[in-house]
């Protein structure tokens, strides 16, 4: 079985009603990134940050996977598929993909402000001030904020190194270190990039670029790969 690796970003969930932020003038649901996705934002106003992610969690819990998420799940019939997503929603899982790594964390988990390894599945529940981990420290969303280390990066690099096929979908490739993952893919791998605003300059020239929305572009590519 060939190894197929997917790197997805906010664009794959846009057609499920979850906004990206680069398409919204650098704002995430009308908030400045510094206010809601950095340690400084948290230190300045934890109530605002908790409320922001409580809203995102509620919104994501109501969202449904679109044709792109569903098409990727079908790939498991033929390939050993690893999905590496920058997204904090769970639409890949809802669509049926079984191996999904969330580089930037997950909305439906909370973590201790004392120890990042103390995480808790909270599903659709809110996190409030006063909600504590088992060691008595405030809980925060289990999201990797800008300026924080990405604990999963070394592990997922190994998947990119052994990829026979790479599909990049709906990401501006502007958030490091996620954007550097594609540099670890072998030159013999078949590489595809699906994004209506794909920036060709950020890619090796052997990428096949599909300037389409994720739902259409992914379904078309998956149908071809499953037939080949
Ligand atoms: P980004 O906002 O930087 O870029 C979004 C990309 O998606 C753009 O290149 C845009 O052209 C493309 N796009 C927009 N609509 C599309 C569609 N229908 N089909 C295909 N592509 C489409 O997103 P990023 O590169 O993922 O980086 C942003 C960070 O924001 C991530 O780390 C993520 O954690 C966070 N974020 C997550 C979500 C989510 O979980 N759904 C939503 C917003 C932001």
Domains of the chain by residue range: 1-18+65-104+149-228, 19-62+108-143
Angle (nearest 5°) at CA 183 between 179 and 188: 135
Q: Does residue 170's CB lie within 6 angstroms of at least one atom of ligand 1?
A: yes
d(CA 137, CA 111): 10
- Of the candidates 37, 89, 68, which has an alpha carbon nearest to the alpha carbon of residue 196? 68
Superfamily name and number for 19-62+108-143: SIR2/SIRT2 'Small Domain' (3.30.1600.10)
Supply the residue whose CA is at minimum distance from atom 44 of ligand 1.
20
Structurally, at CATH architecture level, domain 1-18+65-104+149-228 sits in 3-Layer(aba) Sandwich (3.40)
pLDDT digits (tens, 9 = 90+) for 57-94: 999 999 999 999 999 999 999 999 999 999 999 999 99
Mean pLDDT across the stretch 181-204?
A: 93
How far is the CA of 206 from the CAs of 27, 159, 166, in angstroms?
A: 32, 19, 12
Instruction: Report residue 200's pLDDT band, with 50, 70 and 90 as the boundaries.
Output: confident
Structure tokens at 137: 């420290």
Going across the sheet that includes 207-210, the strands are 100-102, 80-85, 3-8, 165-169, 190-194, 207-210
Of residues 213 and 175, which shows the higher confidence score? 213
Q: Is the pLDDT of residue 24 over 70?
A: no
Mean pLDDT across the stretch 7-27?
A: 87
Q: Is the pLDDT of residue 135 over 90?
A: yes
d(CA 199, CA 179): 13
Same fold, 1-18+65-104+149-228 and 19-62+108-143: no
Q: Give the residue, out of 20, 109, 211, with the most ligand 1 atoms within 8 A of its beta carbon, to mutate for a pocket test.
A: 20
pLDDT digits (tens, 9 = 90+) for 140-162: 999 999 999 999 999 999 999 99
Q: Residue 30: what are its φ and ψ, rounded to 5°?
A: 70, 10
Ligand 1 centroid distance, CA of 63 (Å): 15
């Amino acid at each position: 079985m060939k190894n197929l690796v997917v790197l997805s970003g906010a664009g794959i969930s846009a057609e499920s009603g979850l906004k990206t932020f680069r398409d919204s003038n650098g704002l995430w649901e009308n908030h400045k990134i510094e206010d809601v996705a950095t340690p400084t934002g948290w230190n300045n106003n934890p109530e605002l940050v908790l409320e922001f992610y409580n809203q995102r969690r509620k919104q994501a819990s109501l969202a449904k996977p679109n044709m792109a998420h569903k098409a990727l799940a079908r790939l498991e019939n033929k390939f050993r598929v690893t999905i590496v997503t920058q997204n904090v929603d769970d639409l890949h899982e809802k669509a049926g993909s079984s191996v999904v790594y969330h580089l930037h964390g997950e909305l439906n988990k909370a973590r201790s402000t004392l120890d990042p390894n103390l995480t808790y599945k909270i599903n659709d529940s809110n996190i409030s001030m006063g909600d504590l981990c088992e060691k008595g420290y405030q809980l925060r969303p289990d999201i990797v904020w800008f300026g924080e280390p990405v604990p999963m990066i070394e592990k997922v690099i190994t998947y990119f190194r052994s990829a026979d096929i790479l599909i990049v979908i709906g990401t501006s490739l502007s958030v490091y270190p996620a954007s550097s993952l594609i540099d670890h893919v072998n030159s013999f791998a078949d590489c595809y990039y699906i994004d209506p605003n794909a920036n060709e300059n950020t890619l090796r020239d052997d990428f096949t670029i599909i300037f389409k929305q994720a739902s259409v572009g992914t379904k078309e590519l998956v149908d071809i790969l499953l037939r080949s």
